Every structure is written in structure tokens, then in C-alpha cells.
Amino acid sequence: MSDKKSTNRFGESAVTAIPKNAPLADRPGHKLRSSSVIVDRKELAAAEAALVGQQVEAVKFDDQKGIIRFQDGEDPTELVANRFTGPSFRNRSERFRFDGHKMMHHLDRIRDWQEGTRFAPIHIDMGLTKFCNTACIYCYAVIQNMTKGVMIQREPLLNFIEDCGRLGVRSIGFIGDGEPTLNPAMYDAAVLAKKRGVDTSMATNGLLMDMDRAHDMLRDMTFIRFNLSAGTPEGFQRVHQSPGRNFELLVEKIRELVRIKKENNYPCTLGLQMVLIPECFDQVIDEARLGAELGVDYFVVKQCADSEYKELGVDYSDYHKMEKVLHEAEKYATKDYVVQIKWNKINAAAETNLYKQGIRKYDICYGTPFLAQISGNGKVYPCGPFFNKERFYIGDLHSESFHDMVMGDRYWAVHEDVAKSVDVHKDCAIGCRQDYINKFLWDLKNPPDHINFI
Ligand code: SF4
């Protein structure tokens, strides 16, 4: 490799990276800012032998051939921009999209929304209980009145699943205020949903997961995410306020699930999620390493969502101190193990696709009809942070069918109220679940000039 540094005829630095012995074109059209030296792409295939020993990799596409150049000592598995000379570039496809949205795959619902037709949510996040067996120090649900023993009952839950199938709801996450595995009907709800064509997932602390239902879960659920914000027993005790021995118990459960999944070739994705707070800053690398060792599919790090009164005391500018460590954690990723940091929200105090200095890059919340949220007591609201706010209460699954709710006036009046009256910059705390969707819908509603010039 011969990186040519030179000063051009205007006195400016001009750097090229033409491989040594690469075939050069005879008569380029005119002088460039660097020189008149360009690679003869047509001759590259024939010249491959001359490049042997240099840091290059030959790539074939039909009858064309190209080369990828590497700098001395550069890891060939790392993707570096502008190192390719040839017929095509190869992007690694994104396996999961934790830090974005997938609305473009549901254009039918977007069209319904644009036309003012009533439609079912694409996805619903749903609590199955209002209580928990751990006491994580970042728990948002505590702010929303956790109540021991309160949970949606079996019959209303199964009826709700049937309604979701009828309505065409595409997925339900048993992700909500309380711990889902404490509701014994959870397993049957997941099995029924699969039969009705509705995908399910779950976020759990995993400690009381019924391993006798492991096959049902791994066969019928799309993903199981373990809420784990520690990589050591000491960190676990500190952050989850649960004895360190429970950390070992959980690790063994996850290991067993990975084994059953692999042995039976089940499709369910298994992952770990850390909620980043200063108390677990020292646990990030340990957990990234733990996930790799357990053989789970991913480790994701998300921001901690605080309330409008900041009862959790999260200072987003603290995350800035963690950038190096988070990048270090990303290095544990392999082709079978995704490590992803939700940079768009973690960096909300700086500037990302969604935020600038903590202010959202959209003014109106349009996303709630697409992604609804239901509390563990069976009460339906447009979004989780508004649980218990009577003005936005839609109905109770114990007394009303979800199908009738979605087709009824109250449901749409509440969503309209959210869009018209909620000031997302004042009434909503940073990092709500609908953020990515809201930004997408905002852009759709506020097009730039010349949209036909795509
Ligand atoms: S923007 Fe506000 S109203 Fe909309 S979903 Fe988020 S928290 Fe709820």
C-alpha cells in the first residue's frame, strides 16, 4: 500500500491511497486536484498477482473484480469507509434494530392513518402484573404505584389475545410495569398468540421463570430479553437489590435456555438488556463479556427513562463519561453476538437523530395509535408514562373487549387528545418508547420542498 502524500499545484495537501503496482489508466480525462493518476479498474483482475503481499482482499461480482484496501495493521473484519475499489460494496445487514424503528415495513397502517381510517396498533407493550420480585433501583414502575397481587386475570388476558388476532395486531411485548412471569397465564397467552398469528416477546428478570414451560416459550415467542444491569454478583446486588446468589441462579437459567434453544433449533432470540445508570457504569464490560460467554444473541445498553419529576435523578450528561467504555463493550460483538448501544437516546444531552440538548426533534406525538401500552392491571392507555393519568385512560380489559375499544370513539378521542394537547417538550420525559416512530411520522407530516426529487 502506498499512501501518497503530496502538495498539489494549489499548495493544498492531497492524499491518495492507490495500491502499489495497481494498473494505472493511460489518459484520464483531465487533471484532478491530486494529480492525473487514476486506477485502471478494467485491468484490476489481471493485476491481482502484482498486489500479492499487500493488504488487499479481492472481491468478485459476476465477471467483475474489485479490491478492498486495508491500512497496515488494520483488522480486515472491521468495516472502514472508503477502502473499496471495484464493482460493489458489501454492507453487513443489521440483525436487530434496537436504536431505530421499522415503520417502513407497515405501510398499510401508515396509509390508514393518513386516510383517517381506524386501525389496530402494530405493536403493544403490555404489563401482565403490577408487582415484582426484585427491586431495581432504576424502576420506573415504582413511580406508577406498584401494587402487590394486582394483575390482569387469565380470561381477560386470553380474550385480549384473541382480539389482537382478529384486529391484526402484529406483535405484543409482555413488557410493562410489573414482572410478567409472576402472572401464571403468561405462558398460555404466548402459546395462544402464536396460534392467532401474533408475535410475542417478553422482558423479564428471569428469576422465577417456569423452566417447565421453556419449550413453549422458545418455540412460540419471538424474543426473551433479560433485564440485567450487572455482570457480577456484587453489581447485581447493588442495582437489582436482590442477593448475589440470585445472579448465579439467573445465569444458570439463561445458560440452560440457550442450550435448549440450540438443541431444538428454536427460533426465539435471547438477549440481555442493561439500563445504564451510574451505579452500573462499572458493570458494562463484565456484562458484555458475560453475554458472549453465555451464547445469547445480543447485549443491548439503553438509557434510563426518568419521570417528569425526575424521581430517578438521571442526569443525561453523565452518559458522556461512558462513551469510551461503551465503545469498548461494542468490541465484544461477533457475527453471532450483537452488542448494541442505543446511541440515539444515550446521547440525548448532545445531538442525535432524535434529540438536541435534551429537546426532541419533533413537536407532536403521533405515534401512540401505532404502538399502544397497557398496564399490568389490564388498563389501556396511549403510552406507558401516562399510566394512571385519568384524562388519557381508554378502558379496562376486564370489562371491555379490546376489539370494541379500538373500534370505539373513546380510543380515538384519547389519541387525538395526545396529538393535539400534549407538549412533548414539557409534558414528556426523555426517551419514551414511541420516540423513533414519532420522529418518522413528524417527518412524514412535514415534508420538505421537491419531494418528487427523491
Ligand atoms: S411523546 Fe409523550 S405522549 Fe407521546 S408516547 Fe412519548 S411520553 Fe407518551
Distance 450 CA to ligand 1 centre (A): 31
Distance 187 CA to ligand 1 centre (A): 30
Ligand 1 contact via 346 beta carbon (within 6 Å): no
**CA-nearest residue, atom 8 of ligand 1:** 383
Distance CA 309, CA 196 (A): 41
Q: If you search the block for the grid coordinates 370489562, which residue do you land on?
A: 399
The atom number, within ligand 1, closest to the CA of 427 reads 2
Distance CA 339, CA 285 (A): 11
Ligand 1 contact via 383 beta carbon (within 6 Å): yes
Give 57's strand partners: 68
User: For residue 309, how many other CB atoms are within 10 A of its CB?
Assistant: 8
Closest CA to 260 of 224, 207, 228: 224
Strand, coil or helix: 435 = helix
The atom number, within ligand 1, closest to the CA of 438 reads 1
Ligand 1 contact via 434 beta carbon (within 6 Å): yes
Ligand 1 contact via 424 beta carbon (within 6 Å): yes
Distance CA 454, CA 105 (A): 19
Ligand 1 contact via 422 beta carbon (within 6 Å): yes
Give 125's strand partners: 173, 373
Note the pLDDT of residue 363. 97
Give 39's strand partners: 24
DSSP state of 351: B
Note the pLDDT of residue 80. 56
Distance 374 CA to ligand 1 centre (A): 14
Ligand 1 contact via 176 beta carbon (within 6 Å): no
Ligand 1 contact via 418 beta carbon (within 6 Å): yes
**Which residue type, as a one-letter code, is found at position 424?**
V
Ligand 1 contact via 366 beta carbon (within 6 Å): no
Question: Are the C-beta atoms of residues 193 and 185 closer than 8 Å to each other?
Answer: no
The atom number, within ligand 1, closest to the CA of 365 reads 4
User: For residue 312, how many other CB atoms are within 10 A of its CB?
Assistant: 18
User: For residue 41, how many other CB atoms are within 10 A of its CB?
Assistant: 17
**CA-nearest residue, atom 2 of ligand 1:** 428
End-to-end Cα spacing for the chain: 38
Residue 333 class from Cβ within 10 Å (0-12 exposed, 13-18 middle, 19+ buried)?
A: middle
Ligand 1 contact via 373 beta carbon (within 6 Å): no
Residues near 196 by beta carbon (within 8 Å), at least 6 away in sequence: 161, 162, 164, 165
Ligand 1 contact via 386 beta carbon (within 6 Å): yes
Distance CA 449, CA 421 (A): 28
Note the pLDDT of residue 2. 44
Ligand 1 contact via 368 beta carbon (within 6 Å): yes
**CA-nearest residue, atom 6 of ligand 1:** 432
Q: H or E element: which one contains 193?
A: helix 186-195
Look up residue 357 and give its three cell numbers: 440538548
Distance 123 CA to ligand 1 centre (A): 15
The atom number, within ligand 1, closest to the CA of 385 reads 7
Average pLDDT across each block of 10 residues of the chain; the chain has 454 residues. List them in order.
Answer: 67 82 84 85 70 70 68 60 53 84 97 96 98 94 90 98 98 96 98 98 98 98 98 97 96 98 98 96 97 98 89 90 95 95 93 93 97 97 93 97 97 97 92 94 97 94
Q: If you search the block for the grid coordinates 418508547, which residue do you land on?
A: 433
Note the pLDDT of residue 70. 66
The atom number, within ligand 1, closest to the CA of 360 reads 1
The atom number, within ligand 1, closest to the CA of 384 reads 8
Ligand 1 contact via 365 beta carbon (within 6 Å): yes
